Amino acid sequence: MNDETPRPAKKSATDYSATLFLPQTDFPMRAGLPQREPEILARWERIGLYERLRQAAAGRQKFVLHDGPPYANGNIHIGHALNKILKDMVTRSQQMLGKDSNYVPGWDCHGLPIEWKIEEEYRAKGKNKDDVPVVEFRQECRAFAEHWLGVQREEFKRLGVTGDWAHPYSTMSFSAEAHIAREIMKFAANGLLYRGSKPVMWSVVEKTALAEAEVEYEDYVSDQVWVKFPVRALRPPYDHDVAKVTGVVEELRASSVGVIFIGKGDFELLREMHEKLQLVIWTTTPWTLPGNRAIAYSTKINYGVYRVLDAPAGNWASIGSFYLLADRLAEAFFAAAKVRRYERIGKFNPTAIFSCSHPLAGQVPGYDFDVPLLEGEHVTDDVGTGFVHTAPGHGREDFDIWTANARELAARGIDARIPYTVDENGFFTDEAPGFGPSSPGGAKRVITDKGEKGDANEAVIKALIAAGNLVARGKLKHQYPHSWRSKKPVIFRNTPQWFIAMDKPVAIPSPQGGGERATPTPSPSPQGGGEGGPVVPSPLAGEGREGGRAKHGTSAAAATPTPTPNPSSQGGGEMGHNRPAETLRQLALDAIRATRWVPAAGENRITGMIANRPDWVVSRQRAWGVPIAIFVRPLGDGPIDILKDARVNARIIEAFDAEGADAWYAEGARERFLGGLVDDLSAWQKVDDILDVWFDSGSTHAFTLEDPVHFPGLAGIRRRIDGGPDDVMYLEGSDQHRGWFHSSLLESCGTRGRAPYDIVLTHGFTLDEQGRKMSKSLG
pLDDT of residue 728: 96
pLDDT band at 204 (very low <50, low <70, confident <90, very high): very high
pLDDT at 773 over 70: no
pLDDT at 373 over 90: yes
Chain CA centroid to CA 164, Å: 32
Edge-to-edge strand ranges of the sheet holding 596-598 = 100-102, 62-66, 727-733, 759-763, 596-598
pLDDT band at 565 (very low <50, low <70, confident <90, very high): very low
CA 482 – CA 201 distance, rounded (Å): 9
pLDDT of residue 553: 30
- Kindly state the DSSP code that residue 675 receives in the 8-state scheme: T
| Contact assessment for residue 546 and residue 644, using Cβ atoms and an 8 Å cutoff | yes
More confident residue, 129 or 725: 725
Cβ neighbours around 600 below 10 Å, total? 8
| Contacts for 235 with CB less than 8 Å, ≥ 6 apart | 351, 352, 353, 354
Burial class (CB in 10 A: 0-12, 13-18, 19+), 738: buried
pLDDT at 73 over 50: yes
Q: Which amino acid type is present at position 663?
A: A
- For every residue of 377-398, DSSP letters joined together read TT--SSSTTS-EEE-TTS-HHH
Q: State the average pLDDT over residues 687-698.
A: 95
pLDDT of residue 394: 94
pLDDT tens, 435-473? 999 998 899 999 999 999 999 999 999 999 999 999 999
CA 457 – CA 474 distance, rounded (Å): 12
| Contact assessment for residue 722 and residue 691, using Cβ atoms and an 8 Å cutoff | no
Among 472, 492, 477, residue whose Cα is nearest residue 282: 472
pLDDT of residue 7: 60
Average pLDDT over the chain, rounded to an integer: 84
CATH numeric code, 63-170: 3.40.50.620
pLDDT of residue 9: 57
| Contact assessment for residue 707 and residue 52, using Cβ atoms and an 8 Å cutoff | no
3-state secondary structure of 267: helix
pLDDT at 33 over 90: no
307 sits in the region (left: phi over 0; alpha: psi -120 to 50; else beta) called: beta
pLDDT of residue 511: 60
Mean pLDDT is lowest, of 131-140, 215-224, 279-288, 426-435, for 215-224
pLDDT band at 563 (very low <50, low <70, confident <90, very high): very low
Residues of the chain with CATH 3.40.50.620: 63-170
pLDDT of residue 135: 96
- Kindly state the DSSP code that residue 419 receives in the 8-state scheme: P
3-state secondary structure of 728: strand
pLDDT at 491 over 50: yes
pLDDT > 90 fraction of the chain, expressed in percent and rounded: 59
pLDDT of residue 337: 95
Of the ranges 230-234, 326-330, 534-538, 720-724, which is most confident? 326-330
pLDDT at 269 over 90: no
pLDDT of residue 266: 58
pLDDT at 400 over 80: yes
b vs e for 148-177, b when ≥16 Cβ sit within 10 Å of the residue's Cβ? bbeebbeebbeeebbbbbeebbbbbbbbbb
For CA atoms 27, 30, 33, 34, the dihedral sign is: negative
| Contact assessment for residue 592 and residue 755, using Cβ atoms and an 8 Å cutoff | yes
pLDDT at 374 over 50: yes
pLDDT of residue 571: 36
pLDDT > 70 fraction of the chain, expressed in percent and rounded: 83
pLDDT at 65 over 90: yes
Cβ neighbours around 667 below 10 Å, total? 9
pLDDT of residue 745: 98
pLDDT of residue 421: 95
pLDDT at 286 over 90: yes
pLDDT of residue 545: 27
- Kindly state the DSSP code that residue 682 receives in the 8-state scheme: G
How big is the chain, counted in residues?
A: 779
Q: State the average pLDDT over residues 665-691.
A: 94
Q: State the average pLDDT over residues 558-570.
A: 31
| Contact assessment for residue 758 and residue 596, using Cβ atoms and an 8 Å cutoff | yes
pLDDT tens, 585-627? 999 999 999 999 999 999 999 999 999 888 898 999 889 999 9
pLDDT tens, 515-559? 332 323 233 333 333 333 332 222 222 333 233 323 323 233 322
More confident residue, 275 or 535: 275
pLDDT of residue 19: 78
pLDDT of residue 526: 30
Residues of the chain with CATH 3.90.740.10: 218-403+453-489
Q: Does domain 218-403+453-489 have CATH number 3.90.740.10?
A: yes
| Contacts for 231 with CB less than 8 Å, ≥ 6 apart | 277, 278, 279, 324, 353, 356, 357
